[in-house]
Copies of this chain bind each other. A is one copy, B any other.
């Protein structure tokens, strides 16, 4: 960390500042020139709070050099983390995991019928929302526990593991009991109470979606919250970020794939459905994601998108979903992987 000290700073205050760093076990290099005065802090600066240092009246600027995360950091954990979900492996050079299913669970028949179809198409897991984060209080809020139990039945019939979104720490017990991977949605990416709770109260893998306007570093810090609280099983999921573009719902940022692999050891999967918001662009963006090296895809599938209870515009029909997987498999082979 670099601390720029103001010109003509009071020597007493400067001495105190340096002492405060040294007390934390940091080594301080003091460089002074005609125009600037810089302190270089050497050691573990993860626990330092830039804003607190910046509040010191003799400090002009604070620049962090080392990443503020540790548990998620590739530097301290060079090998890939591979998440195992009932034998399905995500990450490393494992098969690319395709997860399919509806935005919302709409009932037992719907989810079971769809589960059969996504399995036939080549998916290895089933997604389905039972608790739904909706912008409007008047929109459908999900079947809740009933939806979770419908998914459990679909798993029983097809053998597909299931993933669903958790919205409140009160539901962790339910999710820990029934669900195979727990999704934290984009709008809850910085719901720190929830992150700590899934870190402490469960060891089930957590699928952590990137917030709509969050940087990759903030996203990794949210993974760090879960990991620091005790649950190392985190899978990151890019689902598009908010930009000025209006032709898509959000903008899919595929550069996260090489970056997450460089900075962390965690698996990264891509959600082209929420990113584009338009079924017409999903196949194309899925192929691009696989070419970029994604460890998985999570895609919305519905038998009658026009009747879906939520997000119909971004659902693929099962036959198109199968077509996508077949094409993506060929791309995967080119880069030395499989689906």
- Residues of A that sit less than 8 Å from B by CB: 2, 4, 27, 29, 31-36, 38, 40, 42-43, 46-47, 49, 51-52, 54-57, 61, 63, 65-66, 68, 131, 133-140, 167-170, 187-188, 190-193, 196, 212-218, 221, 224-225, 228-229, 241-248, 251-255, 257-259, 262-263, 275-276, 280-281, 284-285, 287-293, 305-315, 327, 330-331, 334-335
Q: Which of B65, B307, B331 contacts A334 (CB 8 A)?
A: B331
Nearest-neighbor residue (CB-CB) of A221 within chain B: B135
Q: Would B66 and A63 count as touching, CB distance under 8 A?
A: no
Measured CA separation A183–B61 after assembly (Å): 31
Which B residues are CB-close (under 8 A) to A263?
A: 247
Measured CA separation A43–B310 after assembly (Å): 22
Which B residues are CB-close (under 8 A) to A314?
A: 51
Report 27 cross-chain contacts, Cβ distance below 8 Å, ordered by A residue.
Answer: A2-B40, A4-B65, A35-B42, A46-B136, A49-B136, A55-B315, A133-B190, A135-B190, A137-B196, A137-B225, A137-B228, A138-B228, A187-B192, A212-B213, A215-B245, A215-B247, A241-B243, A243-B251, A243-B253, A247-B263, A251-B253, A252-B254, A254-B288, A257-B284, A331-B334, A331-B335, A334-B334
Q: Would B281 and A137 count as touching, CB distance under 8 A?
A: no
Q: Would A49 and B217 count as touching, CB distance under 8 A?
A: no
Which B residues are CB-close (under 8 A) to A47?
A: 138
Which B residues are CB-close (under 8 A) to A255?
A: 245, 247-248, 251-252, 275-276, 281, 284-285
Q: Would B258 and A49 count as touching, CB distance under 8 A?
A: no
| With A288-B254, A330-B334, A334-B330: A312-B216 Cβ-Cβ less than 8 Å | no
**Closest CB in chain B relative to A105 CB, distance in Å:** 16
Q: Would A253 and B259 count as touching, CB distance under 8 A?
A: no
**Closest CB in chain B relative to A238 CB, distance in Å:** 11
Q: Would B38 and A34 count as touching, CB distance under 8 A?
A: no
Measured CA separation A307–B187 after assembly (Å): 33
**Closest CB in chain B relative to A81 CB, distance in Å:** 18
**Closest CB in chain B relative to A227 CB, distance in Å:** 8
Which B residues are CB-close (under 8 A) to A46?
A: 136, 138
| With A31-B31, A55-B305, A310-B52: A221-B253 Cβ-Cβ less than 8 Å | no
Which B residues are CB-close (under 8 A) to A253?
A: 243, 245, 251-252
**Closest CB in chain B relative to A174 CB, distance in Å:** 14
Measured CA separation A131–B191 after assembly (Å): 12
Q: Which of B170, B216, B248 contacts A259 (CB 8 A)?
A: B248
**Closest CB in chain B relative to A262 CB, distance in Å:** 7
Which B residues are CB-close (under 8 A) to A280?
A: 258, 262
Q: Would A244 and B245 count as touching, CB distance under 8 A?
A: no
Q: Would A284 and B275 count as touching, CB distance under 8 A?
A: no
**Closest CB in chain B relative to A226 CB, distance in Å:** 9
Nearest-neighbor residue (CB-CB) of A56 within chain B: B306
Q: Which of B42, B168, B251 contacts A34 (CB 8 A)?
A: B42
Q: Would B308 and A137 count as touching, CB distance under 8 A?
A: no
Which B residues are CB-close (under 8 A) to A215?
A: 244-247
